[in-house]
Each structure stands twice: as C-alpha cells, then as structure tokens.
Amino acid sequence: MAETMSLSLWQVFLKGILKRGLIHILLWSLVVSANAANWYVRSSSVGSNNGTDWNNAWSLSSINWASVSAGDTIYLAGGSYGVIAPGKSGTAGNVITLRRARSTNAACTGASGWSSGFDATINASGINIGALDYLIIDGVIASGIKVLNNDRAVSITSGSVGVTLSYIEIYATAANGSSSQAIYMTGCSFTTIDHCIIHGVVNGIQGLNFSDCIIQYCEFYDINAHGTTGHPNVNYLLATVRSTWRYNRIHNNDALGIAWEDGAGDDLNYLYGNVFYDDTGAHCGIESDSNIPRLGRFYIYNNAFINEPATTINFRVTPAGGQIFNNIFWNSPQLLANWSTMELNYNFASGSAPAGANSIGSGSNPFVNLAGKDFHIVSNIGAKFPRNKGVTVTLLNGSTSTVDVDGIARGADGLWDIGPYEFVSNGPNTNPVIAISPTSLDFGAVSNGSTITKSITIQNIGGGTLAGAASVALPFTIVSGGSYSLGSNQSSVVTIGYSPASSSDSQVVTFTGGGGATVTLNGYRLAFLPGNTFESYAGNITAPFVTNSGGYISQPSETTVTTGGQAVYGFTITSPGSYVISANINAPGDAANSLYLNIDSQPSDPNMIWDIPITTGFQPRVASWRGAGTFDSPQFVPAVFNLTAGVHQLILRGREGGVQIGRISVAPYSTVTPPQNLHVVSGF
C-alpha cells in the first residue's frame, strides 16, 4: 500500500529538490499524458508486425521505437523473452511503461487477437535500462516478470533518471549462483524498486554513486545460498546519498544485510517498517563503513530484527546524526558503538538493553505467530509488550512516515507501537491469511477425452480460522478439497482436474478467505499425428520456438530446459519394442547444436541433452542422450526407448539458439544402422 505523505514532508522534499535544481524530476510523477497510445508485444512477431494489436504484435526485438512516444504503454504477453531493453526515454511528464498483459486490463482484452494465454509469466534473460529516463517496467502481480540472473540481471547506468521496477523476481539457481549483482545501479537518480523479489544471488542490489532511491515492499532471501568466495551483500551502497528502505522483508540470507560505504555528512538515509529475520552466518543486518570522517544521518525506526545471528546494526564510524527508535530486537544481538551523535530510544529487546537506549527487557513472545512468520504484534498492553510503547518519531521539520506496512496510521489508538506493524483491534494480526503453493499450474499436453489432475496446497499463515472455497471455470474442475476451514498454520490440498477443450486452455482458480488468492492454470490438447513420421511444425509448439517458412522450427537464443521452447507430438505405437528418434536437422556450429528430448515426460538437464554432430545444411541425425558423458562423448548413442503399444508423446525442449528442426521420425531401432559403443536406455 502506498504511503500517504503529509504536506510538511512534501514541503521538505520540494525544498531539497529545489536546492539541487531538479524540481522537474518531481513533476513528472504528477502529470498524466493526455494522448498516450497502447502497443502490443508477443514472444514472436505476428501479422503486420506493427504493434497495433495482438494480431499484429511486435516481438521484443522488432519494436519500432520511433513509433513509441512518451506516455505510451507497451503490453507484453506472457512467454519467454531475451533481454528487455527499452530503446527510448519517456519525459518528466510522460513515462513510457512496459507492462505485463493481464486479463483484468481492458486495454489488453479489448485489443484484437487477445488470448487468455497471454496473461502468463514473462520470463526474461535480463533488463537493461542503460542511461534512459522516465521508464516503468511493471510485472503487475507478484513475480509477474521473472529474470534468471546472469550477473547484473538488471542494469541502470549513469545519467538515468526516474526509473521504476515493479513486481519483478530475480533469481539464481545452483548452476548460476556464483553470479554477482541482481540489480546494478550506478550514477542514476530517483529510482524506485517496488514489490520485487530477489533470491539465490550473491549480491541483491549494488549501488554506486546514485541518489534519491526508494526500495520498498521487496523481499530478499537466500542471498548467497549457492556459496561464493566473494563478499556477499543483500544490498551494497557505495557513495550513495538520500536513500529510503521501507516495508521490506530480508531473511534467510548468508550475507551482510544493507551496507553503506563512503557516504557524505549531509546524507539522509531512512530505514523503517522492515523485517530482518532468520539470517545465517556472522553478518550484520545494517552496517556502515567509510573512508571519510563521518557518515550521513540515519533514521532507523519501527523495524524488527528477529532471530538474527550477529550484531543487528553496526556503524564502524560515528554517523553525523539521526535517530534509532521503536525497533524490535527479538532473540538478536543488538547495537554496537559509535552512537554519540544519534538519539536512541524505546527498543524492545528479548535480552539486555542496547547501550544508551530505554529498551523493554526480555518478555513474552510479542508476535501473533512467530513460527508462521506473522510479525503483527499481540494485543497485550504491559511492560513486556510493544503495543503503545513507541514514541512518535519526528524527523526534519516535524515530518515523518506515519503509516505501517499495512498502511495503518501510526498511533491510531493513541500511541505509536514498537515494530513494523501497528496493532489494530480485529485487524490483520488476528485475521486468517491465505498462502497458496504453487501459484501457477501447467498441465502440459493432455490427449482428447482424457483428464489429469494436479494439486494445490492452501495454508492459513495468519490467525483465526481461514474459511473459504475454490472455484474455477471449465475446462478445469475442482475434483476435491473445494471448501476448507483451517486454523492457524493448518493446511489442506485442493485437487484440480483438466480435460482439454481446445488447442490451448487457460483459466484462473480463485480462492476465497484470508485476503483471497488466485492460481493461473494452463494446458493444451495433444494433437495425435498420423503415422510415425511428421513435420516438426505439426505438433503443439510454444515460444520461444517459432515455425519458419522453410518448414522447420527453431528458437533464437539459448535457454534452460524449463524456459526453452516446447514442441509436443502425439503418436501411436502399434507394435511394442525398442524405438529411436531421428530428425532432419540443421546444426550449423558448436553454439547451435543441442536440444533436449524425451518421450512421455519432460526431459531433464543434463542427462537428456541431445548433442548433435555439426551438419552442413539439413542432414538426418539420430537422437542421442548425453547422460553421464560429455557434449563430445555422450553416454547413450543412440537414445533407445522401449515403448508399449498405444499412444505416446515426444517432447522436444529448446536449448541452444539456431538449431533448426525439420521432419521427425519415430522408428524401430532395428531399422536404424547401429553405431559403435551402443547404450540402451530402458524403462521409457
């Protein structure tokens, strides 16, 4: 929920901006464009490729930026993309927005060619803002845009002004976990990182020489989970000025939290409404260091530090001033030295009081549900509880942030509370809160007339009783568990059935109670092909695979097994036995000669990589599997599948870009000339 800023704070903010001659930067957020246009992008261009609607959508690489004006919105359909790299700046009064398509947005559904399948996650390989200005990249809903980190997954560089990133998930796997910064910002100003999720990387945000940045409602977890020999940080800020960190969750990280270095004496740095919990290793939650005599002013108030392993706040040099008020230190070490110019007051601690502070000593658990990570405070009023024990924080010229994480006014019942959350009678701290896993389900290919089921887990992570029901439209159905009544921390399972009605089906299952939740469902009808030899484009093809006029499918760039294009072919085996896959393939070089394949289930990485010997144009090749071998010496040559009589699915997934796949055959192994060093794979 956006924070309501008092008039006096606006006055202070304007005064500071005027002092720096940058008043126009503030004004851009207050003006609405009167002549904005909407444009449309799909993972592959279609029709006239002019971006005017979904039937004529651009691809990301074919956007005609000369046609885009300041104030326009570019809608991106779900799918796999390369690097999102805008080619034009907005202006101070009219930002350019790149936004995920949603079925709840009339600008999307009202454009010709709309499909419910466009309302899906955008998977990108990076976001490069460069030095462009006044841009918004918006995933709209939690993890609406997902970026697999490959070092500096998001880059905003010198001179950039007024960029906002919202609802983006940046993550690293064990395979690329040694990469460095998820978001790299240098020399930019008035940047906002909002409702983003960053996990698995070595460094969350690295900022150099930037100013007036806001990081809010974000989640940082499992930072450095895959290990590194470097110096991991949730956020590292070098020579940055005037930053605000509010309403974030920072947890389960084996890394230093928020670290400043080389600040300036007139800096204003605000940290409020954040929760740090369950981090590991000998790391501080907030730390500052400097090669100059004094850091700027730090205002650290109404945060919570819970089960932290090391000193929660550590200034290695004396800051220039500020306040540390109304923080909860629960089962966590507390403050370090160098506080002579800072005002300390009212810290709720489970152990001994921090030096110089009027803390409340050890007491009962102050949280509604500590195990369930619900850090709203209990209703108790007493010497050992945080309700009504805070003090009103007054910052510059009487201005401050006066709402909590939920947007509840501080001191609504008379006095400020300690910690990120204000107590509200019959409010969120006693209400049920619904949590859903997973947040999307892909049923894949299902043969006509068949039904398959998948499960969703519901949990009440709040208090009280979570009572509600699940509902979904055809061709998906609720098989079981459609109604539920769950106490705190209880969970249940809802089973969803799918019987395909068209070549591609998509719906949303809705859950009521505890704030509600939705899960996106996708599936498609498997088309069965006559015979066991078929054209590659005749199957169910999904992006980034595209069908080319030359009668083959390919994808433009390298992907993982989960983000690559998918091609599924239904075929029938009349005589059980051993079979191999062959295809007419163009594999022109070492960077374009591999893909994944399997029969009747998704292929795995790296065991089911087909490393294709380089071809000269299109040549016939028999599929192999890398297995425990290497790209130049695969283990299973060829890959042999023992198939029963009946229907089966051949599943291809893209890997390296530029591999061109033509006609495909499923043939009895005995009809193919066996190579040397044959290995037979059984059980498929």
Domain boundary among the residues 522, 550, 569 is at 522
pLDDT at 172: 83
Residues of the chain scoring pLDDT < 50: 1-34, 265, 291-294, 337, 350-361, 428-429, 673-680, 682-684
Domain boundary among the residues 119, 136, 152 is at 119
- In a domain, residue 609? The reply is yes
Q: Is the peptide bond before 544 cis (omega within 30 degrees of 0)?
A: yes
pLDDT at 495: 92
- In a domain, residue 542? The reply is yes
Measured CA to CA, the distance from residue 312 to residue 492 in angstroms comes to 37
Same domain, 478 and 599: no
Task: Return the half-sphere exposure (C-beta side, CA atoms, 13 A cut-off) of residue 325.
Answer: 16
Closest Cα to residue 211, out of 135, 269, 166? 269
Same domain, 559 and 662: yes
Measured CA to CA, the distance from residue 111 to residue 53 in angstroms comes to 5
- In a domain, residue 8? The reply is no
Same domain, 462 and 543: no
Same domain, 570 and 467: no
- In a domain, residue 262? The reply is no
Same domain, 630 and 574: yes
Same domain, 537 and 518: no
- In a domain, residue 457? The reply is yes
Same domain, 537 and 499: no
pTM score above 0.75 = no
Measured CA to CA, the distance from residue 396 to residue 393 in angstroms comes to 10
pLDDT at 470: 93
Question: Which structural domain range is residue 513 located in?
Answer: 434-522
Same domain, 617 and 579: yes
pLDDT at 600: 86
Measured CA to CA, the distance from residue 31 to residue 92 in angstroms comes to 8
Measured CA to CA, the distance from residue 478 to residue 472 in angstroms comes to 7
pLDDT at 305: 85
pLDDT at 676: 42
CA angle 586, 588, 594 (to 5 degrees): 75
pLDDT at 353: 41
Same domain, 508 and 569: no
The CATH number of residue 486's host domain is 2.60.40.10
Tokens of 534: 């078929």
pLDDT in tens, 413-434: 778 898 999 987 655 445 677 8
What beta strand segments (E) does 352-465 contain?
367-369, 374-377, 434-437, 440-447, 452-460
- In a domain, residue 54? The reply is yes
Measured CA to CA, the distance from residue 198 to residue 225 in angstroms comes to 12
pLDDT in tens, 153-189: 888 988 899 999 999 999 887 666 556 678 888 888 8
Closest Cα to residue 506, out of 72, 117, 205? 117
Say how many C-beta atoms besides its own lie within 10 A of residue 454's C-beta. 18
Measured CA to CA, the distance from residue 585 to residue 102 in angstroms comes to 37
Looking at the structure of the chain, the number of domains it has is: 3
Write the secondary structure of 459-527 as one string of H (helix), E (strand) and C (coil).
EECCCCCEEEEEECCCCEEEEECCEEEECCCCEEEEEEEECCCCCCEEEEEEECCCCCEEEEEEEEEEC
Sheet holding 483-486, edge to edge: 440-447, 517-526, 505-511, 466-471, 483-486
Cβ burial of 282 (10 Å; 0-12, 13-18, 19+) is exposed
- Secondary structure class of 73 (helix, strand, coil): strand
pLDDT at 68: 95
Tokens of 315: 């200034």
Same domain, 547 and 651: yes
Same domain, 567 and 641: yes
Closest Cα to residue 189, out of 20, 416, 310? 20
- In a domain, residue 91? The reply is yes
The CATH number of residue 622's host domain is 2.60.120.260
- In a domain, residue 203? The reply is no
C-alpha radius of gyration, the chain, whole number = 28
Pairing of strands 491-498, 476-480: antiparallel
Closest Cα to residue 227, out of 177, 154, 180? 177
pLDDT at 444: 79
Closest Cα to residue 101, out of 58, 72, 144, 71? 144
Same domain, 592 and 484: no
Domain boundary among the residues 522, 546, 566 is at 522
Percent of residues, the chain, with pLDDT higher than 70: 79
Say how many C-beta atoms besides its own lie within 10 A of residue 151's C-beta. 17
